[in-house]
Each structure stands twice: as structure tokens, then as C-alpha cells.
Amino acid sequence: MNLEHILFFCMKNPLIHSFTTDVSDVALPSKFTFPFHYEPHPLALAAAASLQEHIISQKWFEKGGLQEELGKMFGVLVVQEKDGGLGYLNAFSGKLAGSNNHDGFVPPIYDMLDENGYFLRESKKLEAITDELLQLEENAAYHEHITKAKKLQKENEQKLDAQRLKIRLERAARKKYRATQESQLSTADFKNLQEKHNQQRINDRFLLREYEVYLNDKLAVHMDVVRSFQEQIAELKESRRLKSNTVQDYLFAQYNFLNALGESRNVVSIFEEFTGIVPPAGAGDCAAPKLLQYAYSNNLKPIALAEFWWGKQAPSAIRKQGYFYPACRSKCEPILGHMLQGLDVEENPLLLNPAVDKELTFIYEDEHIVVVNKPAEFLSVPGKVITDSVQERLRAKYPQATGPLLVHRLDMSTSGILLVALTKEVHQHLQEQFMSRKVVKQYVALLDGIVNSKEGFIDLPLRVDLDNRPYQMVCYEHGKPARTRYEVVAVENNYTRVHFYPITGRTHQLRMHAAHRDGLNAPILGDDLYGKKKDRLHLHAASLTFKHPISKEQVTFTAETPF
């Protein structure tokens, strides 16, 4: 296929863009992109480069632009028509510059911002109900009557308690008086005294009830007003709930997704089958589903997909301008699981055992502990699919060992020292050293960028990104403390070699602290989660110092850095 043919094809549909570079010699991929773990195909890279030039020309993300505060995920989909014509589609996740529609980008599955659309019209009605509800809840008269009612209710309780005490004291006095008069009075006169006191008790009860009614009547003046407001508030809340459900049901009905087999499924049924939950907000509005939906709707064959971030990174998650990222899990995985049916998709590399031809190096061994040097791309413990791991291989080598064996873990992509306990008692002793932070760990990392400071301390609390596991994110509200000390060793051709000394041991701690803008703002070289993929993750557990659980000697083990 020549370039002229490609350009002619793209002119037939304004949303199918022609390549600005000659791609006639680029071979098509044998399979479609696996969207959750991939390296962009050269065609997708060429398409992304053209889209990035367009984004720059629009100045959306420059100072003073509409999206100055934060960046955005963009996507490109290389497509092919039945006659062989090749081009690519553009998309963005969510809305861009306050709109769901921009020239040159595929449309949303459903435009919630359409001024004449049902969703926006009914959403405005919901906002009106919410505003009315807020006015009622904040009404000055409502709160004034609540305050007066609470004050009066307290005063009434005090008055009633005082009256009850007065009655009890008077009753006790009468009882005491009768005791003194029983021997002084005749039987008839004492009987008359008893009847008089009984009548007084009946009168006290009656008067107490009447007094309570009187006090409650004064309280009712305020409570009636309060109840009137509360009834109106309850009615509005129920009205809002019903209308919200109606609008949500309508919205769900608009999100129907095609796949390569021509089958259409609604988003509710997709999520019900995949997760058993209601679709989260924004499901279907990401770039990848938009691109595939447009391709299927226009009889275009998807060839390759890539998504990248443009603009400032968020304060919590790590997104760097121009870096490619996989599709999100919580919103896109169920939808894309349906949409990719009928396509020949690349295998999920996470289901392949990367440690097949790799061996563990044994640094030290006695009857109590073992120290091994784990290669990169080697699981520490069995995963959901892949069981081959350091722990499983050690169980086979030391069948007599008791306990969990591994005292700590390394990420699959991280190489270096792992400490192993051969008995349950030794494992417990070593774990106590880790938990009390008496173990000194040194990691060597090569960072993709230049760090100007010579040393420092990073304190960024971390938690899992619930919408996109296994990614971590910085969270000052719910995150667990994560602290790292670092030293810069050398700068090597725009890379920075550092030593990390983690004080805590959170998941992806060093990777996050390196890549995050409030950390070193330089991802570890080869970090396929928070940076750019290379031949390996350049992170190595180089040294471990601890007290031997039996000899009580301070020991240090090292493993040569392989990069």
C-alpha cells in the first residue's frame, strides 16, 4: 500500500487521520494490542506523535489554558478499511476543555453535555431539587425552631424532674407523719387520714400529667414547625432519589458496546457478569472504548492501540507527559473484555512465567537461614496464575523447613537479596527485626532523569489505586506512612544512580518515591508502571544488614548490582 492510497482513504472520513510520516514500510502487527500491558507498535507511535503535535497546537495545556491544572489521557487507534486503507483515530478520556466533542476526535458513546439532551435536562432538574433541599435544610426559621425546641425540651425535663422530686418528698413526709399519728388517732380518724393522703397521691399524679401536657403544648409550637420542614425535606429527598434512579437507568441504557463479532451489550450486563456490581461513574468514557466503538460502528478493523498522558500530572497518581499507559482496570477491563471478543489479541504477558529459564543464586546458607540473590522478573511468592516463585523453589529444596520461609518480599521486577528462614521460630525472630526497623536495607537504582540534590528524605504516604490495581497512589488521608532516605551516587548520561534506604516497606514504595513529582520526579529506568519500559527495571536490593537470630552477630550480605 502506498502513501497516496492511505491519504485518499483518510479523506473519505474526517475522523480517520492520515499518517504525517511514511509508514508504508512498517509491517502491520500480527495481533491486536493487549490494552493492559503493552509496548506501542510503531504505527501507534507514529499516530501518537501526530496527535501530540495537534494537542500542542491547540494550547489546551499551556499556561492560561482551559486545562492548566491537570493533564488528560489521550488515545490513538490504528484502523484499516476493507480495501486496505490505513489511518488512525483520536480520542480523549472524559471531557476536554469543558466539552465531549472536538474536531478530529471520535465522539463519546453518549454526550452527557448535550444542551438539548435528556441527561443534561434532567440533571438540571435534579440540581434544582438539590438547591431547594439545601435551602430548606439551611432555612434560618427551621434551625431557630430546632434550637428553641431543644432548649425548651431540656427545660421541660428539668421542670418535670423538679416536680417529681417535690412529690416524692411530700409523699415521704406524709408517710412519716402517718407513722407518728397511728398510735395517737382513733381507728376511724387514722383511716380518714389514710384516705386523705391517698387522694393527695392521686391528685399529685393527675397534676403531674397535666403539667407535662402543659409543657408539651408549649414545646409543640416549635416541634410542629420542625416536623413540617422535615416532612418537606424527606419528600424532596425521595423525589430526588427516584429521579436520580430514573436518570441513571436512562444513562446506562445509552451505553451499549459493540465487539468485533458485531455483538452489542449494555454496560450494566457487562459489569454484572464481570464484577457483580453497578458500573462506576465514567465507565465507557475512557479513550479505548470510544475508539473501538467508533471503529466497529464504521466497519473499520482495529490494528493497534496506544494511550498516553498529556499535561500536568495529578497530585496523587503518577502520570507523566508523553508516557504511554495501559487502560484502567476498574472501568475499562470489563468493557474491553467484551469489546475485544472477535479480535486476535496479544497474549497477556502477565500470564506467562518470566522465570522459566532463571536460577536463584545462593549467597549464604546454614541450618537456620538462607540468603539468595533473586533475578529480575522472578516472583517472590506464588501469584494467582503463576506459582513458580522463590518460595516454591525453596520449599522444594528444603522440604524439612517449617514456617512461611520468606521473611520479606521483592517486587517481581526487582532483583537482589532475599532473606529466608528455615524454621518458624527463626522466621518470627527475623520478622520482629524488620517490624522494629532494625534491619538496614540498601537498594541501588538508576533513575530516568537527573536528580539535583545529593541526598534527602522522602515522606509520601501510599495506598493502592482502587480504580487501577496494582498501581499505588499518594494519599495523605488514607495512605500508610512510607519513608525513604536516598543518596545520589553519580549522574550517568542523563541517568542518576542512587542508593535508597527504605525505612518502611510499602508496595512499590521506591518506585513511587522515585517517580512522583513530590519525590525525586524521575522514575526508575525500565519501570513499566510508573515510567517507560526497558530491558528490565533498574532496581536492585544490593545489601541487607541484620542480627543473626541464633549467633546474635550483626551480619551484612551483599549482591553485586547487575547494571
State yes or no: is 411 an active-site residue. Answer: yes
| CA–CA distance, 131 with 142 (Å, rounded to integer) | 16
Query: How many residues are present in the chain?
Result: 563
Q: Can you spell out the DSSP letters for 386-436?
A: ---SHHHHHHHH-TT--S--BSS---TT-EEEEEEESSHHHHHHHHHHHHT
| CA–CA distance, 266 with 261 (Å, rounded to integer) | 15
Asked whether 528 and 332 are in contact (CB, 8 A), the reply is no
| CA–CA distance, 319 with 327 (Å, rounded to integer) | 13
Could you say which of 411, 465, 527, 528 is catalytic?
411
Q: 3-state DSSP call for residue 81?
A: coil
> If we measure between CA atoms, which residue out of 369, 359, 433 comes closest to residue 401?
369
Q: 3-state DSSP call for residue 18?
A: coil
Asked whether 487 and 351 are in contact (CB, 8 A), the reply is no
| CA–CA distance, 475 with 516 (Å, rounded to integer) | 12
377: DSSP letter: S
SS3 of 282-341: the string is CCCCCHHHHHHHHHHHCCCEEEEEEEEEECCCCCCCCCCCCCECCCCCCCHHHHHHHHCC
- Helix (H), strand (E) at residue 132: helix 118-137
- Tell me which residue has cell 519513608: 483
98: DSSP letter: T
| CA–CA distance, 403 with 357 (Å, rounded to integer) | 27
Q: 3-state DSSP call for residue 271?
A: helix
Which residues, in sequence order, are CB contacts of 376 under 8 Å at separation 6+?
413, 414, 415, 536, 537, 562
Angular region, 324: left φ>0, alpha ψ -120 to 50, beta rest: beta
| CA–CA distance, 321 with 52 (Å, rounded to integer) | 10
| CA–CA distance, 60 with 95 (Å, rounded to integer) | 12
What phi, psi does 148 have (nearest 5°)?
A: -65, -40
Query: Hey, which residues are catalytic here?
Result: 411
